[in-house]
Each structure stands twice: as structure tokens, then as C-alpha cells.
Homo-oligomer: A and B are copies of this chain.
Amino acid sequence: MTIEARLKELGISLPQAAAPVASYQPVVIHGGVAHVSGQLPFVDGALVTGRLGADVELSQGIEAARACGLMILAQLKEVGVLERVERVVKLGAFVNSTPDFVDQPKVANGASDLMFEVFADKGRHARAAVGVPSLPLGAAVEVDAVIAIADA
């Protein structure tokens, strides 16, 4: 089954791949590895902003992380390698957090669970999840990725 078919089966439609907010590229592929820039969470076209522990509920944070994951997939599709994902190697999850919010792993699971849903065992990855005081445009979560890509 193709990944596109799997996404359809899951009822997932990918967002429009976001243009970089600045002078860099969404994806650089070198040596069979795609480095995906930090992606922000767009739900129904709107950026999810705010801070976990303050104005963003845990469930909203999880959904935001999942939205970051969907944007990672959209970026891979945009550069034509979505069907050639060999392994999701590493996710880096940056969670906009108050000093007393400590559930970054639960939030990051929004992205992690998505990768497993879509890619099964190939979606199992290493991860770092940390709190940050602020993110671009006030985003609630940012996730970057290292993805192994099979030869064409």
C-alpha cells in the first residue's frame, strides 16, 4: 500500500506545505537522509498559538504536535519523497511551556503516534522533547525531523 493510500485509509488529508517563514528550505536531503526544518502546527489553516501550562490545554497541545507531524509529511510529499520514507529516524519536539509544565512527552506523542499510524514500524523513531519559553509566531509546538529516504 502506498503512503497516500494509507493516509486516505486513516482519513488524513495533508495540509498545504507551509512556505518557510524565512530564508531556509523546508527539507534538505543529503546522503539518503532528509532533514526537515522545524514545522509549526496549522489546524484548519490557522496556526495553533499559546503555551502549555497556561492557555493551551494538554489535548490541544497533543493536537498541535500532530499538526506539526502532518506538516512534516506534507513537506516530504512536496519534495517528492513521501513514498520513499525508509525510516523516521528522529523527531525533535519543542513545546511552548510554562516553567511548571512537565508533560512534554505527552504533547510530543501527538507527532510520534502519527508517525506510527502512517508508517507502522518504519515510523518508530528516537526523540527529544523539551520545554521552551517561546516559539516562532507564538506557536504552541514546533517539531523537526530526520527521515531516512530510500533510493529512487
Q: Closest CB of chain B to A83's CB: distance in Å?
A: 18
The secondary structure that dominates the A interface is mixed
Proximity string of chain A (110-152) to chain B, C-beta cutoff 8 Å, 1 when within and 0 when not? 0011001000000011111111111111100010101010000
Copies of this protein, total: 3
* Residue contact B104 to A136, C-beta cutoff 8 Å: yes
Given contacts A128-B92, A132-B132, contact A113 B23 (CB under 8 A): yes
Residue among A21, A106, A130 with max Cβ neighbours from chain B (10 Å): A130
Given contacts A21-B105, A23-B116, A105-B22, contact A131 B135 (CB under 8 A): yes
* Residue contact B31 to A127, C-beta cutoff 8 Å: no
Given contacts A94-B130, A146-B35, contact A22 B135 (CB under 8 A): no
* Residue contact B99 to A133, C-beta cutoff 8 Å: yes
Query: With an 8 A cutoff between CB atoms, is A9 at the interface?
Result: no
List 7 additional contacts besides A102-B134, A131-B135, A132-B133; criterion CB under 8 Å. A22-B109, A31-B33, A35-B126, A51-B99, A101-B134, A130-B136, A131-B133
Q: What 3 pairs between A and B have smallest CB-CB spacing?
A: A131-B134, A38-B128, A22-B105
